[in-house]
Structure 1
Amino acid sequence: MKTITLVFGAVYGMLSVILGAFGAHALKKILSVERLESFETGVRYQMYAAFFLLIVGYVLKFETKTENWISWLMIFGTMLFSFSIYGLSMQDYLGANLKFLGPITPLGGLFMILSWGMLIFYFFKNRI
C-alpha cells in the first residue's frame, strides 16, 4: 500500500503541473473565466492531494486498515473530485452534457475530508 500511495502522490503531482499549464495556456483561450476558475480549483486540490499522499506514504506504516483507508479515501476522493470538475469545466467545449458529474464532485470532496479526519484520528490514537 505504501508504494501505491507514493505512486498516486507522484502521478497526481505530475498531472497537476501538466493540467495547470494546459489550463493557463490552452484553456484560457476557450473557456469562460468561471469555467477556468473551476478547472484551476480541480488542479489545486489535486496538488494538495499529491502532497498529502506523498507525506502519508512516508509517515504511515500501512499495518492497519485505518492506515490503508486514509490513502484509499484520498486517492478515490481526488479522482472523483478533481476529474469531475475537469469534465464539468470542459463540457461546453466538448459539446457534451456532463451534468451527471455534478453530484460526484461533493462525494469526492467528502472522501477527501474523511481521509483528513481519519488521519487526525490516527495521530491522536498513536500520539505521533
Structure 2
Amino acid sequence: MTQFALVAASIYGLLGVVLGAFGAHALSARLSPEMQSIWHTAVQYQFFHVAALLAVGVLARQGMTSGALSVAGVCFTLGTLVFSGSLYLLALSGVRWLGAITPLGGVLLILGWLALLWAVTRG
C-alpha cells in the first residue's frame, strides 16, 4: 500500500497543478462561470485527496498495516478519479448527466475517510 498510495498521490498532485493551471489560463475564456466553478471544485477535491493519499502512504511506511488502511487508499484513489474526473468532463462537455456520476465518487471518498478513521483508531 505504501508505494501505491504515494505514487497515486504524486500523480494526482502533478495532474492537479497541470489541470488547475489549464483551467485558470487555457479554459478561462472558453468556460462559463458555472463551468469554471465546477472545474475549480474538481481541482480542490483532487488536492484534498492528494493529502489523504500521502497520509495513507506515510502511515503505511511507518509500519501501520491493516486492511482498513488499504481500503482507504483504494477508495481515495478511485473516489478522486470518479469525483473529480466526472466534474472535469462535465465542465468540458457540458453534458449534465455526468453530474449523476459524481456522487458515486463522493461515496468512495467518504468510505475512504471512514476506513482511515477505522485504521487509525484500531491500528
Provide the TM-score with structure 1 as the length reference.
0.88
* TM-superposed deviation, 1:62: 6.1
In structure 2, what is the equivalent of residue 123 of structure 1?
120
Letter in 2 for 1:69: V
| Native 8 Å contact 2:86 2:99 kept in 1 | yes
User: Is 1:114 aligned with 2:111?
Assistant: yes
Quote the Cα distance in structure 2 between the aligned partners of 1:63 and 1:12. Answer: 23
How far residue 116 of structure 1 moved from its aligned partner, in angstroms, is 0.6
- Structure 1 residue 82 displacement after superposition: 0.2
List gaps (5 residues or longer) in structure 1: 93-97
For 1:21 and 1:32, the matched residues in 2 are separated by 17
Question: Aligned pair count?
Answer: 121
Displacement, 1:13? 0.5
Unaligned segments of structure 2, at least 5 residues: none
- Find the residue that maps to 1:31 and give its secondary structure: coil
Worse overlay, 99-108 or 5-14:
99-108
Q: Is this contact kept in 2: 1:62–1:68, CA < 8 A?
A: no
Q: Match of 1:51? A: 51
Work out whether 1:89 is the aligned partner of 2:91.
Answer: yes
Residue of structure 1 in register with 2:23 after alignment? 23
**What does residue 12 of structure 1 align with?**
12
Partner of 1:73 in structure 2? 75
Considering only aligned residues, what root-mean-square deviation do their CA atoms show, in Å? 1.3
Q: Which amino acid aligns with 2:99?
A: G
1:31-53 Cα deviation digits (max 9, x unpaired): 00010010010001101111111
Question: Percent identical across equivalent pairs?
Answer: 38
Moved more, 76-85 or 98-107: 98-107
